[in-house]
Amino acid sequence: MNVRTRFAPSPTGYLHVGGARTALFSWLYARKTGGKFILRIEDTDRERSTEASVNAILEGMEWLGLDYDEGPFYQTEQFDRYQEVIKQLLDSGDAYYCDCSKERLTALREQQMADKEKPRYDGCCRDKGLSAADNTVVRFKNPLDGDVIIDDLVKGRVVINNRELDDLIIERTDGTPTYNLTVVVDDWDMKMTHIIRGDDHLNNTPRQINILTALGAELPVYAHVPMILGDDGKRLSKRHGAVSVMQYKEDGYLPEALINYLVRLSWSHGDQEIFSREQMIEFFDAVDINTSASAFNTEKLQWLNQHYIKNKDPAVLADLMQQYITAAGYTSDDGPELTAVLKVFQERCSTLVELAQEIRFLYQDFTEYNAKQAKKQFKEASLPVLQSLQEQYASLQDWTAEAIHHVVENTVNTLEVGFGKVGQPLRLAVTGHGKSPSIDITLELLGKEKTLARLQQAIEFIKAKQAAGSRQ
């Protein structure tokens, strides 16, 4: 069998993480089996579909590296084909015209609900033999007996009795086809063999199978994937944070981290947590997808992202960092070589946004200190420490981490204070916030000129603080 899978989003918004996971599973199945992965844009909802949403979907797919072999195909370009199939169903007696008014249908629904029955169309026009008119819709003539059997790769065998289904509308009064018709025609024409989608579509599947059967089409294999929940157990939505794929890019996540995280939502391979793309393809099988919903855990995603940042080639990471540095409001032109900085800092942060903030002090001067740290570290006893450091660093010719560290040791010994009494005020003086890697490596990256300037700034800050205190 030549496997063919598809991802078929509606362009009514961004590419969300649930859709991205569905696309990923379909992509993996195609790649695992040597099949084809097709992208189809289901844009028949003309009021809600936008070009911006189409672009957001395409951009998200590209960022995640989910390359498609065919497409994108657009449903709005297939209306003639849909009309052809609707006519085929009418001619074969598998569809009929219905002129039931909205008022009648509303009254029917209310009565069924009052009688505690499942609301469904009662087949009023099924055998009337009506012709097309301005007020008619076309309904599919669903079988009245028998069962629809779905051998789902995820859910197992699902059996739906045809009496639970009604004659759904496949063409509206304005002549436009409905979702269940267009999906069936596209899957048939595109020769889809496997349809992997969210389990919110499970109730549509028996209806689509009956239409495919009426058309004499070969049935695809279905796999209905459980939904993604927020950490509160409710359906994932904006209130849980970023749900748009491109928002994760903006927030400083790497695509390989998000892909790795999404593949582990409802699928696993033993206890393995970290997967390369090649390993995902090698190990993935749709039958291993869990049947229960998965909760989105941002902390787990951050852990994975930190892993991928830490192991990223610093030169590649430097290119990626430029947009986040620009967004943070500074430039890496005036300061140490960015690749050298990232070799030291990349293991310290869980997002690229955080990393851009962490290294800011190396490129941008500051005039304020973290208030809590300043109160703790910039005391009267810190003044001679910083002055001694400034004097020694001013005369230091060999600006290397080893020589810089030797000055710290000499200050500790000369002033007879602990390392903390030297290193901590020094770190605050040069960073402004008191956080950095080893102080000797930090100063080597910062450079002699900036180090001396910031020591002077800290000395003046402490003196001004002392003067203000004496006046009170």
Using DSSP, state whether 317 is helix, strand or coil.
Answer: helix
Bridging pattern class, strands 137-140 and 169-171? antiparallel
> Do 392 and 424 form a contact (C-beta atoms < 8 A)?
no
- Residues 196 and 24: their CA atoms lie apart, in Å, by 10
Token pair recorded at residue 229: 């929940």
- Residues 422 and 470: their CA atoms lie apart, in Å, by 25
Catalytic residue among 238, 372, 375, 463: 238
Q: What backbone torsions phi and psi does residue 399 show, to the nearest 5 degrees?
A: -85, 75
What contacts 56, CB < 8 A, 6 or more positions away? 11, 13, 14, 15, 244, 246
Among 12, 24, 19, 18, which residue's Cα sits nearest to residue 54? 12
Q: What backbone torsions phi and psi does residue 57 show, to the nearest 5 degrees?
A: -65, -45
The reply to whether 238 belongs to the active site is yes
Q: What H or E segment, with its residue span, contains residue 383?
A: helix 382-394
Side-chain half-sphere exposure of 228, counting CA atoms within 13 A: 22
Q: Which residues are catalytic?
A: 238
